Amino acid sequence: MHYSTVTSKGQVTIPAEVRELFSLSTGSKIEFIPYNDYIIAVPLNKSVKNLKGILPKPATSISCEEMNNIIKENYDRD
């Protein structure tokens, strides 16, 4: 298991083994995604396809039309 401590400036050191595994080097960008009681750290040098399966399947599914309607209702700028 790999862990790190948050400094007073909110910084953490990513363990060398993890940096090597994800090809992270100085200047690499990482996106932090809050998910329930967890933080998902996603290296931005990886393809979004690598995210497949990272979250559990939803209890119910919706159609593309339903998704489009939800997006339209929440994000229309008319």
| First vs last C-alpha separation in the chain | 49
Going by the DSSP 8-state scheme, the letter that residue 78 receives in this structure is -
The answer to the question of residue 26 being in a domain is yes
The answer to the question of residue 58 being in a domain is yes
Q: Strand 30-35 vs strand 38-43: parallel, antiparallel, or unpaired?
A: antiparallel
Domain of residue 25: give its range: 16-75
Give per-residue pLDDT as tens, 13-72.
999 999 999 889 898 899 999 999 999 998 887 666 767 777 788 888 899 999 888 888
The answer to the question of residue 66 being in a domain is yes
Give per-residue pLDDT as tens, 2-13.
889 999 999 999
Q: How many domains does the chain have?
A: 1
pTM above 0.75, yes or no: no
